[in-house]
Amino acid sequence: MKIAVMGAGGMGGLFGGLLWRAGEDVVLIDRGVHLEAIRSQGLTLKTAGPRAFVVDIRATDDPGEVGRADLLLFCVKTYDLEKAAAAAAPLVGPESVVLPVQNGIAAPDRLGEVLGAGKVIGGVSYHQGAVEAPGVITYGGVEGKLYIGELGGGGSGRVEGIRRLLFEAGIDTEIHPDIRLAMWEKLVLICATGGVMSYYRRPIGPLLDDPGARALLLGVMQEAELVARARGIALPDGTAERHLAFIENRFAPDARSSQLEDILAGRRLEVESLNGEVVRLGRELGVETPLNRKVYDALKPYAAGSGSSAE
């Protein structure tokens, strides 16, 4: 199987590197100093302890030189989605499968509009990966699981084939019976871990210890849960409380979300696809979301990075 990976950051670099190490035909598509480092010295993957390995993987900034892929993993940040989707068109042929592994709930439908709806399946990743330095990915996390599935629900022959491919490469992958529900489950969670951590500019431990911050963590998730149900997503009762318990029991006190790291470094934020999405859908569906609005309004001026105002 020929595999192309759009975006070689934390997720794309991790998945692409593991697939290459398993013997698959993989090419990474990225840009800038990270791409140049991969080209010149390979991609280094590091996990806890002294374990690290280098993969001499092909990388380019031009999807047009790759040819059509059997599997296209979409791992760019959500704010780059439309631009990357247009650039990826040469990679997609009649039998190609597109698997977005991104935050939020909109990526599969937005990709389908550009690349063909029947080519896109759904994915939700709970892996944690980050670019430590150009050409170097660190990974770990509290729950390294990837869920995939057909957007209409359940699995299929192509989904099972991809699950097997990923699992054999060391990526713990399961077929979810309702991948859109799984996407909403994660959105509820990261409205807190991504949004509220960034709002306070603090890791999770101090937020859990502070009654007001803890209430905000729970409240933004409860609002997102209500919006999901109004959208017709059958989230179980108590999803927000279950997620808060998960955070309390499984996150180290110094744990930082990727969006917290981004705002502290002055990088662009995915706030439009997280708390911003909940606010917009709440307005459309008649669900009040004042706590998500509070977080969204506070983060929006930093969405473009470097402390500048977003459009």
Query: What's the mean per-residue pLDDT of the chain?
Result: 94
In a domain, 41, yes or no: yes
- How much is the pLDDT for 83? 94
Same domain, 249 and 164: no
Task: Tell me if 85 sits within 8 A of 111, measured CB to CB.
Answer: yes
Same domain, 66 and 118: yes
Same domain, 166 and 35: yes
**How many distinct helices (H) and strands (E) make up the chain?**
13, 12
Stretches in the chain below the pLDDT threshold 70: 48-50, 141-143, 307-311
Same domain, 139 and 233: no
Same domain, 46 and 149: yes
- How much is the pLDDT for 51? 78
**What total of structural domains would you count in the chain?**
2
- How much is the pLDDT for 15? 95
Closest CA to 219 of 192, 250, 239: 192
Q: For residue 265, give every residue at least 6 positions away whose Cβ sits within 8 Å of its Cβ, in sequence order, or none.
A: none
Q: Which structural domain range is residue 128 located in? A: 2-177
CATH number at residue 87: 3.40.50.720
Same domain, 154 and 88: yes
In which element (H, E) is residue 260 found? helix 258-265
**For residues 303 and 297, what is the distance between their CA atoms, to the nearest angstrom?**
10
Closest CA to 247 of 277, 292, 216: 216
- Both tokens of residue 16? 């692409």
Q: Which residue has the tokens 């706030």?
A: 271
CATH number at residue 261: 1.10.1040.10
Q: For residue 234, give every residue at least 6 positions away whose Cβ sits within 8 Å of its Cβ, in sequence order, or none.
A: 178, 181
